[in-house]
Amino acid sequence: MASAHTATHGTIRGMKYPRASSRYSSGRGFTIVELLIVVVVIGILAAIVTVAYSGITDRANASSFADGLGKVEKAMQLFVIQGGYATWPRDNDSSLTGASNPNIPSLISSTSNFSKYLQSTPNVAGVPTTSWIYDNDGDTYNGCSTGGAPGVSIITYNTPQSLAQNVDGILDDGDLSCGNIRWYSSTNGTLVYGLSNNESSL
């Protein structure tokens, strides 16, 4: 009995395991149609992700721009009020830089005390820091003007329309041709942010 058992084990040890069925080992691969479907699905998903990312980026830039306009506005208000001005200073006022339409970086670097209220020009993607301008030519803003920069304003040049539209939606009425924010395609994408409709309204 013992020898039969041993013989049986010997036989089992000497056996080779059967090969797996070719149905599982070889596989049939992908057809051209299946590969095309996968490529199309990946393309659709990539497009969705790209659009979503672009929308998030645009909103982030608009939020940053709106925040920057608010900071410049607050700095100008503090500078004027605490400096004892009776009215908004003209843009070529000698107590500023003496230059017509001075940009914000020059106000920070050369205007006494202004850097106490604003240490750096807002850094917004697509809007160069040197394009942030203070404008006050002594005129008055009485409505939806279609040209120029009436009243006392912060101006940015070369501002993309989509960015201006998003900022207008955050800070104003969503209408780029009217309100506190205006945008002019005829003057290189000029965005005008009103601080006052005339120089005496502090």
**Arithmetic mean of pLDDT, 25-44:** 79
pLDDT of residue 40: 85
- 4 falls in which pLDDT band (50, 70, 90)? very low
**Arithmetic mean of pLDDT, 158-166:** 93
What would the pLDDT profile of 105-121 be if each residue is shown by its tens digit?
999 999 999 999 999 99
pLDDT of residue 133: 96
Cα(21)–Cα(43) distance, rounded to whole angstroms?
37
Cα(30)–Cα(28) distance, rounded to whole angstroms?
7
Residue that has been written with the tokens 């998003």 in this structure: 166
Mean pLDDT, the chain, integer = 84
The closest alpha carbon to 186, from 149, 140, 139, belongs to 149
For the chain, the domains span 32-196
**Arithmetic mean of pLDDT, 161-165:** 94
pLDDT of residue 187: 80
Element (H, E) at 156: strand 152-156
- What three-state secondary structure class fits 155? strand
Within the chain, residue ranges assigned H as helices are: 2-14, 22-25, 32-82, 104-110, 161-171
pLDDT of residue 44: 85
